[in-house]
């Protein structure tokens, strides 16, 4: 139910806006990799403007995701260490509990 609500409220209007943006900006735009000689045909390509805009958005999302991932690395490392400490403490507690159960067990039959 929540997924359908998100789909209808967020994704459908976003898709409509992106499609309208793409249709309105479908004219060819020169994209050059040589800022000193923009007319250089070897390093200039004609692309639709919406493609350039969507490519810039995608590149920004990827770079931002990597930056966030690298920035939060110390927190992930700390969480891993705490997880290992918790596992070690749990393992030691379970070994102590097993030892206590073994010592508290009834003695075997005598001969």
49-71 helix and 12-24 helix, angle to the nearest 10 degrees: 130
The answer to whether residue 64 is domain-embedded is: yes
User: What gap in Å lies between CA 52 and CA 8, rounded to an integer?
Assistant: 28
The most confident of the ranges 33-37, 52-56, 62-66, 95-99 is 62-66
The pLDDT mean for the chain works out to 84
pLDDT of residue 103: 67
Residue 106 lies in a domain: no
The span from the first CA to the last CA of the chain, in angstroms, equals 70
- What single-letter DSSP state applies at residue 86? H
Specify if 103 maps to a domain: no
Are the C-beta atoms of 89 and 65 separated by less than 8 Å?
no
Q: Which residue has the higher pLDDT, 72 or 37?
A: 72
The structure tokens listed for 13 are 């209007």
Q: What is the span of the domain harbouring residue 80?
A: 20-33+40-93
pLDDT at 57: 92
> What confidence category does residue 107 fall into, taking pLDDT thresholds of 50, 70 and 90?
low
Query: Does 111 fall in a domain?
Result: no
How much is the average pLDDT of 73-99? Answer: 81
Structural domain contains residue 99: no
Total tally of structural domains belonging to the chain: 1
pLDDT above 90 as % of the chain: 26
Distances from the Cα of 29 to the Cα of 34, 59, 65, 95, angstroms: 15, 19, 28, 70
Asked if the structure places residue 107 within a domain, the reply is: no
Q: Tell me if 52 sits within 8 A of 30, measured CB to CB.
A: no
Is residue 52 one of the residues assigned to a domain? Answer: yes
């Amino acid at each position: 139910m929540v997924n359908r609500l998100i789909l209808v409220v967020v994704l459908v209007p976003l898709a409509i806006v992106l499609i309208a943006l793409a249709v309105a900006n479908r004219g060819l735009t020169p994209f050059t990799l040589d800022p000193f000689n923009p007319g250089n045909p070897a390093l200039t390509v004609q692309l639709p403007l919406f493609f350039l805009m969507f490519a810039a958005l995608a590149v920004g999302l990827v770079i931002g995701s990597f930056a966030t991932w690298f920035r939060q690395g110390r927190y992930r490392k700390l969480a891993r260490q705490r997880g290992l400490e918790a596992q070690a403490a749990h393992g030691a507690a379970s070994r102590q509990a097993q030892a206590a159960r073994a010592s508290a067990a009834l003695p075997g039959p005598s001969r």
